[in-house]
């Protein structure tokens, strides 16, 4: 027997003051003491005006760990007395602070909560949605009375200019003809930022507003598409990956093995079809979902560049959603990967714009190997 599950509280944490487009390269640092030629083009395309980094600008040092970011978001849900006993903590991130132990136990250690079930979900942008699904199912099955799910990212350590100095030094002979790191690496330096979000799931609603979780559908297109976004590996000519453990340590810095990389051509050719069009069509058939069943559409967009393609895809499917029913804070909060859906939902949840009976459809694409998530909520 299953029980209804309600999302009763949301929270977000964004470190330090927002960083503007003009200041971004000063905070992250230049590569090879050269101004990036791609920066302005990429920022103009992605539309992001400000974002947050866990970098203390006074010292230039990393000021927080991913576990600390996540714990800060969870604390913003409320005090332990306000929340009640939590039975299950599920975290999602693409970049934990270490290979082992897992991110969830590190967050648990930061919180100092009593013994409980902790689960860590891996992935990229979809990791937070996967965490939410596990937490939802745990409460729905009656195994937990309350669960907390999180999404968090600490991207800035992998995007700092100093990370690429060894690669630039190794390729010094090429600087005259190609004075920058590869575009697939430089591209993401201006796209990603730091942040964390959290939600509380319970068996009963709390006033004044709760969101009943109707369903969460996740899917992968890895059976037909190669890797698009990756880190800790190098891509071979045939599209396969050679992971860091199979690479000589002397080459890690030389080739920026741990940098986040993305095949932009592959992304643009497949992201809308593989993560929106095809999986949403299957959901429409499976669940009978209609555009009129969506009062708020919350798409996780890595860039404003994809607004028009997403709108065009929905229209071609006969599932057009008027733009006034879309909600995104990408421009102001930046692309925080698996934390973005949580940070977006938190702002809308607290805005006073959701009314009882409103239905929310969250869309979470991931370009790692083209995975997709849809979350459907009803306000009560």
- Residue at 236 is within a domain: no
Q: Are 330 and 48 in contact (CB under 8 A)?
A: yes
CATH code for the domain in which residue 363 is found: 3.40.47.10
Q: Within this chain, do residues 194 and 224 fall inside the same structural domain, yes or no?
A: no
- Residue at 1 is within a domain: no
How far is 4 from 342, CA to CA, in rounded Å? 21
Q: Within this chain, do residues 182 and 276 fall inside the same structural domain, yes or no?
A: no
Q: Within this chain, do residues 180 and 309 fall inside the same structural domain, yes or no?
A: no
- Residue at 242 is within a domain: no
Q: Within this chain, do residues 166 and 276 fall inside the same structural domain, yes or no?
A: no
Q: Within this chain, do residues 264 and 362 fall inside the same structural domain, yes or no?
A: yes
Q: Which residues pair with 92 in a beta bridge?
A: 121, 151
- What 3-state class would DSSP assign to 356? coil
How far is 104 from 96, CA to CA, in rounded Å? 9
In Å, how far are 300, 311, 327 from 351, measured between CA atoms? 18, 24, 11
Tell me how many domains the chain contains: 2
Q: Within this chain, do residues 200 and 277 fall inside the same structural domain, yes or no?
A: no
Q: Within this chain, do residues 333 and 223 fall inside the same structural domain, yes or no?
A: yes
Q: Within this chain, do residues 201 and 282 fall inside the same structural domain, yes or no?
A: no
* Predicted pLDDT at 171: 44
- Residue at 294 is within a domain: yes
- Residue at 254 is within a domain: no
* Predicted pLDDT at 37: 74
In degrees and rounded to multiples of 5, residue 107 shows phi and psi of -65, -45
Strands (E), the chain: 6-13, 19-20, 50-51, 55-56, 61-62, 88-93, 117-121, 146-153, 195-202, 211-220, 229-230, 233-235, 241-243, 261-262, 296-299, 359-366, 371-379
Q: Within this chain, do residues 178 and 52 fall inside the same structural domain, yes or no?
A: yes
- Residue at 234 is within a domain: no
Range(s) of the domain holding residue 336: 215-229+260-379
- Residue at 137 is within a domain: yes
* Predicted pLDDT at 31: 74
H helix intervals, 2-83: 24-28, 39-46, 66-75, 80-83
Q: Within this chain, do residues 87 and 43 fall inside the same structural domain, yes or no?
A: yes
pLDDT averaged per 10 residues in sequence order, the chain, 380 residues: 92 98 92 76 92 96 97 98 98 97 98 98 97 98 98 93 54 42 65 97 96 98 97 93 96 87 92 98 98 98 95 98 98 98 98 98 98 98
Classify the phi-psi angles of 13: left when phi > 0, otherwise alpha if psi is within -120 to 50, otherwise beta.
beta
Q: Which residues pair with 120 in a beta bridge?
A: 91
* Predicted pLDDT at 160: 85
* Predicted pLDDT at 42: 87
- Residue at 175 is within a domain: yes
Q: Within this chain, do residues 171 and 264 fall inside the same structural domain, yes or no?
A: no
């Amino acid at each position: 027997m299953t029980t209804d599950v309600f999302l009763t509280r949301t929270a977000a944490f964004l470190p330090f003051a927002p960083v503007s487009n003009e200041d971004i390269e000063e905070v992250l640092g230049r590569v090879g003491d050269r101004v990036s030629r791609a920066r302005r083009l990429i920022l103009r395309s992605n539309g992001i005006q400000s974002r947050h980094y866990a970098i203390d600008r006074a010292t230039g040092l990393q000021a927080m760990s991913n576990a600390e970011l996540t714990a800060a978001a969870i604390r913003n849900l409320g005090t332990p007395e306000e929340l009640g006993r939590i039975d299950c903590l599920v975290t999602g991130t693409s970049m934990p602070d270490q290979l082992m132990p897992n991110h969830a136990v590190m967050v648990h250690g930061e919180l100092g909560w009593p013994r409980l079930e902790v689960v860590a979900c891996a992935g990229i942008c979809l990791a937070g949605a996967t965490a939410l699904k596990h937490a939802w199912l745990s409460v729905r099955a009656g195994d937990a009375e309350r669960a907390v799910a999180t999404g968090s990212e600490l991207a800035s350590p992998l995007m700092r200019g100093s990370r690429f100095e060894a690669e630039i030094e190794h390729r010094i002979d090429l600087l005259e003809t190609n004075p920058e790191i590869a575009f697939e690496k430089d591209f993401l330096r201006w796209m990603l930022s730091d942040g964390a979000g959290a939600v509380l799931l319970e068996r009963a609603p709390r006033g004044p507003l709760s969101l009943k979780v109707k369903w969460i559908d996740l899917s992968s297109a890895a059976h037909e598409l190669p890797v698009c976004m990756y880190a800790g590996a190098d891509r071979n000519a045939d599209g396969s990956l050679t992971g860091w453990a199979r690479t000589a340590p002397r080459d890690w810095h030389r080739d920026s093995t741990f940098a986040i990389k993305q095949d932009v051509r592959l992304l643009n050719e497949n992201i809308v079809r593989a993560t929106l069009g095809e999986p949403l069509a299957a959901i429409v058939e499976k669940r009978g979902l209609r555009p009129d069943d969506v009062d708020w559409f919350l798409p996780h967009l890595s860039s404003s560049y994809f607004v028009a393609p997403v709108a065009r895809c929905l229209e071609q499917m006969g599932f057009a959603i008027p733009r006034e029913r879309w909600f995104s804070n990408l421009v102001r909060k930046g692309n925080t990967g698996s934390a973005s859906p949580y940070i977006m939902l938190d702002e809308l949840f607290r805005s006073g714009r959701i009314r009882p009976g409103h239905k929310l459809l969250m869309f979470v694409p991931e370009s790692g190997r083209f995975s997709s998530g849809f979350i459907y909520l009803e306000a009560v």
